[in-house]
Amino acid sequence: MPTIYLETKIKSNIQICFDLARSIDLHQISTAKTNEKAVDGKTKGLINLGEYVTWQAKHFGINQRLTSKITRFNEPFYFKDEQQKGAFKYIAHDHYFEKYDQYVIMKDIFNFQSPLGMIGKLVDKILLSNYLKRLLIERNSTIKEYAETEKWKSIFE
């Protein structure tokens, strides 16, 4: 099963970083290129333990839906979201937050698996790992941009 591991260093408050990472509104801003929209479940604000969101987006020219649920939650240090419905066989995304001096280290561990056995494994390796990593890097860059400036206030108004 492919795993994407990212670390992002953010000069901000741990609570701000944690809340931006679980903000439905900021997620939609960070995924504007794929026109990702929350269409069911929690569609605005901060998602919490036990809540779900269904995302609709266009990837590789195909409209898709993915429902993700927050299955673990330890504010402001950790939360996990897991796919409940969607095109993948499996998705689990662990979000960790650690405070060091004036910085927060945000760690992402993103595990996924496509369906279709060996064909799916090949697609994961050749295409999806890099594609999903780029999406996560874009998301993290947006979180960093908002957390390190006054922009974060616009998300929580």
Ramachandran angles phi, psi of 141, nearest 5°: -65, -40
* Domains in the chain, CATH or no CATH each: 3-155 (3.30.530.20)
Q: What is the structure's pLDDT at 58?
A: 81
Q: Are strands 62-74 and 78-85 parallel, antiparallel or unpaired?
A: antiparallel
DSSP string, the chain: --EEEEEEEE-S-HHHHHHHHTBHHHHHHHTGGGT-EEEEES-SSB--TT-EEEEEEEETTEEEEEEEEEEEEETTTEEEEEEEESSSSEEEEEEEEEEETTEEEEEEEEEEE-SSHHHHHHHIIIIIHHHHHHHHHHHHHHHHHHHTSTTHHHH--
Q: What is the structure's pLDDT at 28?
A: 95
List the pLDDT tens digit at each of the 157 positions of the chain.
Answer: 899 999 999 999 999 999 999 999 999 999 988 889 999 999 999 999 999 999 998 887 788 899 999 999 999 999 999 999 998 899 999 999 999 999 999 999 999 998 877 787 877 788 889 999 999 999 999 999 999 999 999 999 8
What is the CB neighbour count within 10 angstroms for residue 28? 17
